[in-house]
Structure 1
């Protein structure tokens, strides 16, 4: 069976990619091997014009989906997350596996 790719817009895609990155780190994410899901209970706040996410520095603009409830609602409707807006997000197995193609665009931090 050929599974159809879920379509999401660019802001939703950036936000999901950042959620995926946060889910990878024990300081911000908690992976549940039983369900294949990961909960992110800490969303970093921007300082200045950027925000630190794992080993990356991301522009505050690119992280604007963290405070946009409509983005969370859309990702939840598509089955990629379960929203606990604005405090936490659980990425479904589908959300963790979704290839946003954006991680190469993030900048590594040197501070």
Structure 2
């Protein structure tokens, strides 16, 4: 039997938020000290107009509303995907490895 596509039953907003957190962790590349396989995220992007930049990608602001939504963070924390700490968030190994299937849909390549 093939693995379930969304085993933690994350809703679309949670999946989009996790996709962005994965990209932030990849870009910052700061392994978490007390979380094996986890990465520290120290800054969240801010939109200018209707988009923001993550590395060489452009993300529509509408795809990032979960980054500022405490309920989304609470669910991701409850499911073991993220841990909030003062001044940072830790994307756990579970969060790093989770396949949201959305990376190519919300991270658009930019030339500027």
- Under a length normalisation based on structure 1, what TM-score does the superposition of the two structures give? 0.86
Mapped to 2, the partners of 1:25 and 1:63 lie a distance apart of: 17
CA distance in 2, matches of 1:12, 1:54: 21
Per residue, is there more helix in 1 or in 2?
A: 2
Q: Answer yes or no: is the 8 Å Cα contact 1:15–1:66 preserved in 2.
A: yes
How many residue pairs were aligned? 107
Q: How far apart are residue 21 of structure 1 and its match?
A: 0.4
1:58-73 pair list within 5 angstroms: 58-73=59-74
User: What secondary structure does 2:62 align onto?
Assistant: coil
Unaligned runs of 5+ in 1: none
Counterpart for residue 43 of structure 2: 42
Structure 1 Cα separation of the partners of residues 108 and 85 of structure 2: 28
Q: Distance in 1 between matches of 2:100 and 2:54?
A: 16
- Whole-Å separation in 2 of the counterparts to 1:44 and 1:84: 18
Gaps in structure 2 of 5+ consecutive residues: none
Rate the CA distance shift 1:84–1:61 in 2: closer, same or farther, 3 A.
farther
Name segments (4+ residues, structure 1) moved above 4 Å. none
In 2, Cα distance between the equivalents of 1:58 and 1:77? 26
Q: Is residue 17 from structure 1 mapped to residue 45 from structure 2 by the alignment?
A: no
Residue in 1 that maps onto 2:84: 83
Residue 52 of structure 2 is matched in structure 1 by 51
Q: State the SS of the aligned residue for 1:24.
A: helix
TM (normalized to structure 2)? 0.86
Deviation at 1:66, TM superposition (A): 1.0
Query: 2 CA distance for matches of 1:31 and 1:56?
Result: 22
